Amino acid sequence: MNLWNDPVHVIADWLGGLLGGLGMPPAVATVLLALLGIVILASALMVLDIFLVWVERKVVARFQDRLGPNRVGPYGLIQPFADIIKLIIKEDITPDGADKPVFNLAPLLSLMSVLILWAIIPLAPLVLGVDLNVSLLYLVAAGAIGTLSIIMAGWASNNKYALIGAYRQVAVLVSFEIPMITTLLIPTVLSGSMGLKAITESQGIWYVVLSPLGAFIFLTAAIAELGRTPFDMNEAESEIVAGFHIEYTGMKFGLFYAGELLHAFTFGGFLAILFFGGYRLFGLENLGPAVAAAILLAKAMIGYWVIMWIKYTLMRIRIDHMLTFNWKFLTPLAFTLLMVTALVNALLRDSGTGVYVAGMFFSNVLLGWIALEIARRHARSARDKHERTGPVLETVRRQA
Amino acid sequence: MTIAQIIFLIVAAGTLASAVIVVTTPNLVHAALWLVSTLFGVAVVFALLNAGFLAVVQVVVYIGAIAILFIFAVMLTRREQRDFGQQMNRFWWLGALVAVATFAGLAAMLQSWSGLSGAAAADLPIGFDSVGALGDALISPQAFVLPFEVASVLLLAALVGAVYVAFNRK
């Protein structure tokens, strides 16, 4: 055990020895060190968050053929700090009739639900908060707290748009949670564990190769849970202005915004851990924890970029289309995929690696093709029916 | 007193206090939110008992599904949910009696339980796979496969029933 290979434990031991030397009981020192670790991790993430604001603004600018922030500092890098100063000195408004404690608690919970996710993310083999054996359920539980914060914000604001935004978010989250949990079970089936470290360690072959469809469904459900375009029902600017955070000003809005960006980045990280090998990259991770953490963060950044790419390319889907898409396409597909994955895994596990990988990959491709074919036929028959009855009749019939 | 005991006392006090507020607050949404706080406290107690799986499931099921459904249903009712009437009716003594009797029954049962008087259970060995053990127990014929399957069939029936009720006949 040395500083290069296991920095966290070496520093913790050293600090623990130091505190013990000062006459502090070991139990108190342990708690103090744990608190210190939490504060350092959370602070590092908040600083990263400031950088993410710049990344997001630069990337959206490139997608929209603009330059983005480029005035303050080199490449506009100081711009987020100017934004923060602006947010802090803005007037903090609490709307009339708002439920004050709930109103103030909601932004905190929103950011917290994202920060607690990093407790289970293995940055390197020995640099991780806790190696929970139910990590994947923990991910879902944290998402539940995030939903709770949005409901609280929507209800406490005493604003109809905010309430509608909260309703929509619950509808979306309750439905997309199902394919999400189902696809979370695919890495579990493949690795035989629910711990993120074990899942990372077992990915000699990235799970995206074994289950490309699973990675796709996970990404879709993740974007829905993030509430980003094309699933941004909860804040749809053109329909309900800003949804649940319409009444928030200054730094309270800032917390929601920071939470959203960090959430997207975090899900990029989970995509990397579950399907793209986590901190592993052709043995480079053995060079040291710093390299491993850099690999994971780079992969998370690529995942984040994909989420941004989708956000700024696609338009918003209507809410009924979106729920239909989830319940009639994504959910059955996810369940079938889980069954097929478990079956193929059990049948081919003992045959050679080549056969196993090919079997897994092509069963996924075949399943995806069948699903698309069914969806295509269904869409065609719906379109034919629509042409026979005509758009006016269709509307009348639906209203009747 | 160890750190774990101090944390337990703080969490237990918080859980009990929020549980009391759930029934005393006049605002329905606040009651639901305090219920979330109570359920979260119970999850922390599970975590303190090394039952990580139960702790996480407690949050997923009770906070993520049930409490959110509560709040959703309450929000669908009138905006002003304050009930300005009396919070007690004339049968309050009956409710108190049932509560005291239940508490006495539970206390008497716990008195005869060996875990309360005997030495504390030994800590689980490091790396003990409690989730794996739970999974094995749930599908092992010597253990709980029958209750597990019965519960599964029951849930499936509920699911089919829900789909049938919601089904829109053409």
Label each residue of B83-120 as H, E or C. Answer: CCCCCCCCCHHHHHHHHHHHHHHHHHHHHCCHHHHCCC
Q: What's the confidence (pLDDT) of residue B16?
A: 92
The C-alpha of A76 sits at a distance from chain B's nearest C-alpha, in angstroms, of: 40
Residue A177 above 80 pLDDT? Answer: yes
Q: Does A147 touch chain B (CB under 8 A)?
A: yes
Task: Please judge whether B59 and A144 are an interchain contact, meaning their C-beta atoms are less than 8 angstroms apart.
Answer: yes
Q: Does A394 touch chain B (CB under 8 A)?
A: no
User: Cα separation of A309 and A56, whole Å?
Assistant: 10
Q: Does B150 touch chain A (CB under 8 A)?
A: no
User: Cα separation of A271 and A222, whole Å?
Assistant: 9
Lowest mean pLDDT segment, chosen from A149-163, A276-290, B86-100: A276-290
Could you tell me the two tokens for A170?
A: 């619950």
Considering CB atoms only, which of A28, A134, A155 is closest to B29?
A155
Q: Find where tokens 């990590």 sit.
A: A135
The C-alpha of A163 sits at a distance from chain B's nearest C-alpha, in angstroms, of: 9
Mean pLDDT over the full length of chain A: 83
Averaged pLDDT, B132-149 = 85
Q: Does A129 touch chain B (CB under 8 A)?
A: no
Q: Does A32 touch chain B (CB under 8 A)?
A: no
Percent of chain A with pLDDT over 90: 5
User: Cα separation of A223 and A219, whole Å?
Assistant: 6
Q: Does A155 touch chain B (CB under 8 A)?
A: yes
User: Cα separation of B78 and A250, whole Å?
Assistant: 30
Provide the chain A residues 77-116 that lie in CB contact (below 8 A) with chain B.
99, 102
Question: Which chain A residues have a beta carbon less than 8 Å from that of B132?
Answer: 133
- Sequence-distant (≥ 6) Cβ neighbours of residue A229 within 8 angstroms: A310, A311, A312, A314, A315, A316
Task: Please judge whether A151 and B68 are an interchain contact, meaning their C-beta atoms are less than 8 angstroms apart.
Answer: yes
User: Cα separation of B162 and A185, whole Å?
Assistant: 25
Q: What's the confidence (pLDDT) of residue A281?
A: 80
Task: Please judge whether B63 and A148 are an interchain contact, meaning their C-beta atoms are less than 8 angstroms apart.
Answer: yes
State the pLDDT confidence band at A314, using cuts at 50, 70 and 90. Answer: confident
Question: Which chain B residues have a beta carbon less than 8 Å from that of A24?
Answer: none
CB–CB of A229/A385 below 8 Å?
no
Q: Does B96 touch chain A (CB under 8 A)?
A: no
Rg of chain A over CA atoms, in angstroms? Answer: 23
- Phi-psi domain of A65 (left: phi exceeds 0; alpha: psi -120 through 50; beta: other): left
Q: Which of A35, A155, A160 to mutate to test the interface with B (most CBs of B within 10 A)?
A: A155
Q: What's the confidence (pLDDT) of residue B134?
A: 83
- Sequence-distant (≥ 6) Cβ neighbours of residue A365 within 8 angstroms: A212, A213
State the pLDDT confidence band at B117, using cuts at 50, 70 and 90. Answer: low
The helix/strand/coil state of A256 is: helix
Q: What's the confidence (pLDDT) of residue B38?
A: 93
Q: What's the confidence (pLDDT) of residue A53?
A: 86
Q: Which of B56, B126, B139, B155 to mutate to test the interface with A (most CBs of A within 10 A)?
A: B56
Question: Which chain A residues have a beta carbon less than 8 Å from that of B2?
Answer: 27
Helices (H), chain B: 3-24, 28-48, 52-57, 68-76, 92-111, 114-117, 130-139, 145-166
Lowest mean pLDDT segment, chosen from A226-235, A287-296, A370-379: A226-235
User: Cα separation of A319 and B128, whole Å?
Assistant: 45
Averaged pLDDT, A340-344 = 89
Helices (H), chain A: 7-21, 26-63, 79-89, 100-115, 135-156, 160-191, 196-201, 207-210, 212-226, 237-240, 250-275, 289-313, 319-324, 331-348, 353-389, 391-399
Averaged pLDDT, A219-246 = 79
Considering CB atoms only, which of A31, A140, A144 is closest to B3?
A31
User: Cα separation of B55 and B46, whole Å?
Assistant: 5
Q: Name the closest residue on chain B to residue A28, using Cα atoms.
A: B3
Lowest mean pLDDT segment, chosen from A53-57, A130-134, A265-269, B105-109: A130-134
State the pLDDT confidence band at A369, using cuts at 50, 70 and 90. Answer: very high
Residue type at A11?
Answer: I
Lowest mean pLDDT segment, chosen from A63-72, A389-398, B28-37: A389-398
Task: Please judge whether A151 and B72 are an interchain contact, meaning their C-beta atoms are less than 8 angstroms apart.
Answer: yes
Q: State phi, psi for A377 to the nearest 5 degrees.
A: -60, -45
Q: Which of B25, B60, B74, B129 to mutate to test the interface with A (most CBs of A within 10 A)?
A: B60
Q: Name the closest residue on chain B to residue A174, using Cα atoms.
A: B65
Q: Which residue has the higher pLDDT, A289 or A189?
A: A189
Considering CB atoms only, which of A133, A170, A177 is closest to B131?
A133
